[in-house]
Structure 1
Amino acid sequence: MEKGSVSAGYLKSILDYAVDKGASRSALLAAIELDDTIFADADNRVPMEKFRRMMQLGVEHTNNLAFSLDYCWDMPFVRTSIVGLIAESTANMGEALEQLNRYGKLVAEVDIGTAGERFALVPEGHELWLEDTRLNPNEFPELTESTFGRFICEFRRHFGDTPFVKRIKVTHDRPVHYKDYDRVLQAPVEFAADRNAMEIETSWLTVETDYADRYAFGILSKHADALLKELESSKTMKGRAESIMIPVLHTGELTMDQVAEKMGLSRQSLYRGLKAEGISFEQLRDDLRHKMACHYLAEKKVSANETAYLVGFSDPSAFSRAFKRWTGQAPGSWQAVG
């Protein structure tokens, strides 16, 4: 089973694309047991397994076996993640690849074992291969499709039919929709190969990008560095618990037993893990409500009463008292000033 996580923005782009192609938004969200509130912050994290299921549901609900390939052409990278914006602000494709390796886990955090980088440049004689080092790729072939589709479609989006990929190798067996690989990827594909890789033109690395902007690059990189630090902290017991709690915070009282079960732990193990990090479950829940309440109010898209519901308060007055305890202000006053 795929481990790791993806950004909420990435998952939302898959969801939006499926809905645009005729799928039911509510049915898709119900199937993966998520609520729209997770998308309030595009940088929230969603378990990889839910993302994998969403990709498969996209195929089923749109009746399109090439769903993950077509998604890459129809949905530009800049609309899915900050990483797309960073790549577009670099000077050339070589630098874009460097930044993709640096920040790629903000889009999709996958297992690459002991490999230093997910995307490795491998010279072989006169050939240059771009290899995806993701482990156990055949557990999620749709991710392989969308990974290579993204490389190829983004380049074509900016540079037309300029040659880039000479041939492609994928480790999964030839699928029923193999002809769609030719249509979208426009390069010979070898199935059931020994690795996932594309032979590329060596000149690709020096191709200058369309919209290089060093100022934007600096601003975006600073934000991405902060997100990477936050992602690393999510591997703590506190961070793991928060990632479970955020999508269901609106349901009301979350108990330690419920969260422990979702984490695959006993109540006592969760208690000891949080205690070792200097926080109780009750404090964690209270801090999370505070953080998310401030986020929702700062966006100024929902009222104080709606925010109360989103962070799990059924009584607006109870939320108002809690918010005054957190900030010293009433929710409405804080929102007006912010």
Structure 2
Amino acid sequence: MPLDGKTDWVVSSLLINAGALAREKGINWGHILEKHNVAASLLLSPDKHVGLRQTLEILNTLSHSVSDPTFILNGFANLPIGVADLLDYVAVFAPDAGTALQNWARYAPLCSKGMTVSVEQSASGLELELSIPVRFGSNAQASYALMGLMANRLGYILGPESKHTQVQFTSVNPGNAAFPLRLGGFSGQVQFETCRNRILLPDRVANIPNPHADKNLLRLIHTAATRLLADVQEDESTISMISAKISEGLREGRLSMEAVSSSLGLSQRSLQRLLEQEGTSYREILDDVRKSSAERYLLDTRLAAKEIAYLLGFSNISAFSRAVKNWFGMAPRDLRKHALEDMEAE
């Protein structure tokens, strides 16, 4: 059972830009959309909503359609200014890079429900974090796309001073000698296999005036975007809400129905009734969250299987291996090997 549906989504501009990159490579974009049950007509406007899980799967399929493992990261990091719509304008017209990061976090709810962007002040500067819950499965390509895009825009704003910034990815480095990383005008440090997807902006460059700033245009954009924020629907479906709590429980070792119902302020019986109304069960949602999370860790990271088993709340590696074989038809090691062979074949 998919966990996103109408409640976890991303605006269609992400796939519109992915489609443009695909067509430049001669890839049959329409076939990829059809494979994932997304109507091409949905991508005629950049502000339509596409299911988040569908979007992640489409980006994964696209990345497997080319021999270049950096295709999506480099592609999005070199998109022209303006194609990202709101994400571009609230940044490139901002007075400085620090305000650009704050604007990305402020208006992220207009671009996705499920993925989040937050900014915190640290001792050394601003830290922007992009969070894509593991319950949606493999998300490396989506993080490459969005973080690559934001890194490029920082390079546009800061110019040579972007060398003082850092971009960190939780996933592995897709680049190699044959396919190096090319992040446009961004000249900062790039790190992979970190604990979070982050941009680190030191105070020393956060307030450098942006040569492209336009306070009048930014004021107009702020007015329109703030009005749209007020209309963002905050309601979550029962399944999405419960799956999010289960995902939190995985990290904290609280997987029982009692623990999840308590975190939602419900009795176990009330939670059961809600799930029955949705035509599902607690066990089914837990299994789906574990499956998607296993896919994310096995395909996007180098974590050992025993570490993943622990993260997903399995009592031992054997129980985890049996579950993976039941979900994907092969053992954890074979799943990783099969994914690599698919990429090499395509």
- Superposition TM-score tier, normalisation by shorter sequence: 0.5 to 0.7
The structure-2 alpha-carbon separation of the partners of 1:44 and 1:227, relative to structure 1 and needing over 3 Å to count, comes to: farther
The structure-2 alpha-carbon separation of the partners of 1:13 and 1:43, relative to structure 1 and needing over 3 Å to count, comes to: same
**Which residue pairs with 2:319 in the alignment?**
none
Q: For 1:164 and 1:179, how far apart are their aligned partners in 2?
A: 24
1:30 aligns with 2:65: no
The structure-2 alpha-carbon separation of the partners of 1:234 and 1:187, relative to structure 1 and needing over 3 Å to count, comes to: same
Q: Which runs of 5+ in 1 are unaligned?
A: 238-264, 271-338
Aligned residue for 1:37, secondary structure, equals helix
- Equivalent pairs counted in the alignment come to 236
Q: How far 1:101 sits from its partner (Å)?
A: 0.8
The structure-2 alpha-carbon separation of the partners of 1:187 and 1:227, relative to structure 1 and needing over 3 Å to count, comes to: same
Q: Which runs of 5+ in 2 are unaligned?
A: 239-273, 280-346
Q: For 1:42 and 1:178, how far apart are their aligned partners in 2?
A: 35
The structure-2 alpha-carbon separation of the partners of 1:129 and 1:79, relative to structure 1 and needing over 3 Å to count, comes to: same
Q: For 2:21 and 2:28, how far apart are their aligned partners in 1?
A: 11
Alignment RMSD: 3.4
**Which residue pairs with 1:121 in the alignment?**
121
Q: How far 1:166 sits from its partner (Å)?
A: 4.7
Identity of aligned residues (%): 14
The structure-2 alpha-carbon separation of the partners of 1:217 and 1:18, relative to structure 1 and needing over 3 Å to count, comes to: same
Q: For 2:233 and 2:101, how far apart are their aligned partners in 1?
A: 22
C-alpha contact (below 8 Å) 1:182/1:188 kept by paired residues:
no
TM-score (norm 1): 0.58
**Which residue pairs with 1:152 in the alignment?**
151
TM-score (norm 2): 0.57
C-alpha contact (below 8 Å) 1:81/1:107 kept by paired residues:
no
Q: How far 1:70 sits from its partner (Å)?
A: 1.3
C-alpha contact (below 8 Å) 1:10/1:81 kept by paired residues:
no
The structure richer in helix per residue is: 1
| Paired AA for residue 218 in structure 2 | F
Q: For 1:189 and 1:87, how far apart are their aligned partners in 2?
A: 20
Q: How far 1:225 sits from its partner (Å)?
A: 2.4
Q: Deviations over 1:52-82 (max 9, x none)?
A: 1221222123332112211223313521222
Aligned residue for 1:154, secondary structure, equals helix
**Which residue pairs with 1:52 in the alignment?**
56
Which structure 2 residues correspond to residues 17-166 of structure 1 after superposition, within 5 A? Answer: 17-112=21-116, 118-123=118-123, 127-128=124-125, 130-132=127-129, 134=131, 136=133, 139-166=138-165
Q: For 2:65 and 2:73, how far apart are their aligned partners in 1?
A: 15
Q: For 1:2 and 1:120, how far apart are their aligned partners in 2?
A: 29
C-alpha contact (below 8 Å) 1:164/1:200 kept by paired residues:
no
C-alpha contact (below 8 Å) 1:119/1:133 kept by paired residues:
no
| Paired AA for residue 108 in structure 1 | S
**Which residue pairs with 1:319 in the alignment?**
none
Larger Rg: 1
RCO higher in structure (CA 8 A, sep ≥6): 2
Aligned residue for 2:41, secondary structure, equals helix
| Paired AA for residue 141 in structure 1 | A
| Paired AA for residue 233 in structure 2 | E
Q: For 2:190 and 2:216, how far apart are their aligned partners in 1?
A: 39
Q: For 1:2 and 1:89, how far apart are their aligned partners in 2?
A: 36
Q: For 2:86 and 2:199, how far apart are their aligned partners in 1?
A: 25
